[in-house]
Amino acid sequence: MAFKVTTFCQDGVAIVGIDSPPVNALAAGLAEMVADIVEEVNEAEPVKAIVVVCAGKTFVAGADIRELGETAAGRMGPITLSAAFNRIEASAKPVVMAIHGTALGGGLELAMAGHYRIALSSAKVGQPEVNLGLIPGAGGTQRLPRLCGIAKALDLCVSGRTITAAEALEAGIIDKVVEKDLVDEAVAYAASLGQVRRTGAVALPAADPEAVEAARKGAARRMRGQTAPLAVIEAIEASSRLEFAEGLDEEKRLFEQCLYGPQSKALMHVFFAEREVGKIPGAAVEALPAVEKAAVLGAGTMGRGIAMCFANAGIPVRLSDQTEAALDAAMAAIRETYEAGVKKGKLSEADVEVRLALIHPSASLDGFDEAGIIVEAVFEDLEAKQRVFTQIDEVARPGAILATNTSTLDIDEIATATSRPERVCGFHFFSPAHIMRLLEIVRGRATSPEVLTAAMELGKRLRKTAVLAGNCPGFIGNRMFAPYRDAAIRCVEQGASPWAVDEALTGWGMAMGPIRVGDLSGLDILREVRIAAGLAGTVEDRLIAAGRLGEKTGRGWYSYAAGRKAEPDSEVEEAVRAYAGEMGIEQRAFTADEIVERCVSALRMEGRKILDEGMALRAGDIDIVYIHGYGFPAWRGGPMFSGM
């Protein structure tokens, strides 16, 4: 047992201290031990009230996710938190929960089992279980609505968002907020109370069918395919109909349905894969000094977004292109993007000025000698990139990282243009670079371990999920994307309509269908990717020949006459039928499941090859690439996760 629970008496108040480093997670037996002690001190005559407080930097930050996973897999006994929390709530003497740091999930459920809650103003609370495909399973769905009403409980549990102590106070989840001296304040508060107040014993919360309906609609729209949001809505709705004990039974039923279902397994896998993804085995080397200044060469679509990534992280960045006109256009576009953020309430005008002041446009390589990293984002052309790398090599300081944002070219070939291939690696951002979380860090043959460690570190500072990839055509993400799209187009050639293919995959949970993605990326660009992957031609070549390149020409697989909305186009279906006839491709009907099976299998097969060749460190890394870079539904765990 890696935790302890201590007791101490101060001014007639028993202080129960939980100490379960590092975040006081509810390891098996901890809640029972707290309940045992609460019962014991109830017997002690001089004790008037009880305060529960946690050691270290936070209150109970949640359940132990590893143990949840073990229970889900049948390797550990059932979860018994609810019974322990009921015993705490049954205390005859007032129990005050003293919250600092974050009380999330099981932590907030423990807090709500106390009779009163006092918190530091810096504390945060929430029920983020949906992010793991779960619902609160220890009374949260029944106590929370009794404290803050059905609508607020739905808001918190469906979104999984974390709220400040001030918001929790206003909502009635917390009773008192203090600035400092939490324990002393809690003791004084507990001593002043005199009577218990059991949340489980208060009247049923008022029914709110409108809020329930709105939550259901919102979840169907924003969390399509996910079961936990619907389960938590059901449990919260039940709190207004069922007495507390029956409500808990209903919660237990729904919780177990989620816990033993496939989505929570998938989301727990993603949770752990995200923790692993930054780790490079054997990379125990001294990292390079942290990057203080950056430089980006090429101020096109990607260069602009990459410069914004640095500015957003507070890192001054030089942005260079061939002409002043190109730079003016880039700076205007960057300002426009930031201003759009202001309109959406995400940034203040002051933020915009601070960030813009960090981006220094220049038509020369002036200042590149001061940069800890130089990211090249010029045209996708090997010779152009090699020329640029030779120039960069001449000006860059000795310790600098020289990175290329190439999406298809060979990092080693680019590195040969420099005198220091050990400093060269790939920094493959995804478009739009300032938004997409994924960043593939590509290891060249000569890339040094220090450079890789520093690159991964920098990725974190840029708030990206950095994944290490080997130097193969398309790296991890695009390499798998080529056969995936190929499988989708083959379904179309064999009789499925392009829209049916997209619907099958979006219905399955992909953010966008593979046919529609083609239109967004540009069919001509994807043809290059396909050729690089060694795949044969498809009917798509006909569309390209007819000038249907995708959204940028107003027509691709779909038509985009009315603004950006993609409209199915019968001309495309005719072109496909003509092609199939000429090529003698037999036509047949497809079910949505079959389309999904074919496309996702193609992803998985290429993923296996990538693993076999050592181009990805772990299967989980590939899952993360697809979830953060390609709109793969996290609740299915990723293409390599075996729970399909």
Residue type, 377: A
From the list 321, 404, 316, the residue with the least C-alpha distance to 360 is: 316
Among 299, 452, 462, 566, binds ligand NAI (CB under 6 A): 299
Is residue 405 within 8 A of residue 429, CB to CB? The reply is yes
631 binds ligand NAI (CB under 6 A): no
Q: Which stretch binds ligand NAI (CB under 6 A): 48-56, 106-114, 274-282, 317-325?
A: 317-325
Do residues 334 and 308 make contact, with C-beta atoms less than 8 angstroms apart? yes
What is the DSSP pairing of strand 317-320 with strand 359-362?
A: parallel
Q: Write each residue from 138 to 177 as x if it is in contact with ligand NAI (CB under 6 A), else as -, in one continuous string.
A: ----------------------------------------
The partner residues of 362 in beta bridges, in order of sequence, read 320
Nearer to ligand NAI, 298 or 513 (CB): 298
Q: How many residues bind ligand NAI (CB under 6 A)?
A: 23
153 and 141 in contact (C-beta within 8 Å)? yes
Tell me the one-letter amino acid at 152: K
**With CB under 6 A as the contact rule, which of the stretches 218-226, 292-300, 480-488, 489-497 interacts with ligand NAI?**
292-300
384 binds ligand NAI (CB under 6 A): yes
- CA-CA distance, 505 to 413, in Å (whole number)? 37
471 binds ligand NAI (CB under 6 A): no
Q: Which stretch binds ligand NAI (CB under 6 A): 68-76, 174-182, 426-434, 509-517?
A: 426-434
Q: Which amino acid is at 297?
A: L
Check binding of 297 to ligand NAI (CB under 6 A): yes
Q: Does 388 bind ligand NAI (CB under 6 A)?
A: yes
Q: Which of 40, 67, 70, 109 is catalytic?
A: 109
Min dist CB 405 to ligand NAI, Å, is 4
Residue 321 as a binder of ligand NAI (CB under 6 A): the answer is yes
Distance CA 603, CA 353 (A): 43
Q: Which is nearer to ligand NAI, 431 or 591 (CB)?
A: 431
If binding is defined by CB under 6 A, does position 377 make contact with ligand NAI? yes
The least distance separating ligand NAI from the CB of residue 18, rounded to whole angstroms, comes to 47
406 part of the interface to ligand NAI, by CB under 6 A:
yes
- Distance of closest approach, residue 503 Cβ to ligand NAI, in angstroms: 25
Q: Does 535 bind ligand NAI (CB under 6 A)?
A: no
**CA distances for 14 relative to 60, 96, 186, 579, angstroms:** 19, 10, 11, 81
Is there a catalytic annotation at residue 370? no
Task: Give the nearer residue to ligand NAI in terms of CB position, either 297 or 596.
Answer: 297
Sheet strand arrangement including 465-470: 359-362, 317-320, 294-297, 373-376, 401-404, 424-429, 438-443, 465-470
| 617-622, long-range: CB < 8 A, 24+ apart | 617/280, 617/281, 617/468, 618/273, 618/276, 618/277, 620/269, 620/272, 620/273, 620/276, 620/277, 621/273, 621/276, 621/277, 621/467, 621/468, 621/476, 622/476, 622/480
405 in contact with ligand NAI (CB under 6 A): yes
Phi-psi category of 341—alpha, beta or left, where left has phi over 0 and alpha has psi -120 to 50? alpha
- 129 counts as catalytic: yes
Distances (CA, A) of 579 to 121, 493, 538, 626: 67, 8, 9, 32
Comparison of 318 and 423: residue with beta carbon closer to ligand NAI: 318
Q: Which residue in 58, 166, 158 sits closest to 108, CA to CA?
A: 58
By three-state DSSP, how is residue 81 classified?
helix
If one asks whether residue 431 binds ligand NAI (CB under 6 A), the answer comes out as yes
The residue at minimum Cβ distance from ligand NAI is 300
> In the complex with ligand NAI, which residue's Cβ is closer, 189 or 481?
481
Q: Catalytic pick from 32, 89, 129, 167?
A: 129
**102-104: strand order across its sheet:** 102-104, 124-126, 162-164
Q: Which of residues 483-522 bind ligand NAI (CB under 6 A)?
A: none
For ligand NAI, give the closer residue by CB, 189 or 475.
475
**Residue 431 CB, nearest distance to ligand NAI (Å)?**
3
Task: Give the interface segment with ligand NAI, choosing from 224-232, 239-247, 293-301, 593-601 (CB under 6 A).
Answer: 293-301
Query: How many residues comprise the chain?
Result: 644
Instruction: Using DSSP, state whether 640 is helix, strand or coil.
Output: coil
**Any idea which residues carry the catalytic annotation?**
109, 129
User: Site residues (CB under 6 A) for ligand NAI?
Assistant: 297-303, 320-322, 326, 377-380, 384, 388, 405-407, 429-431
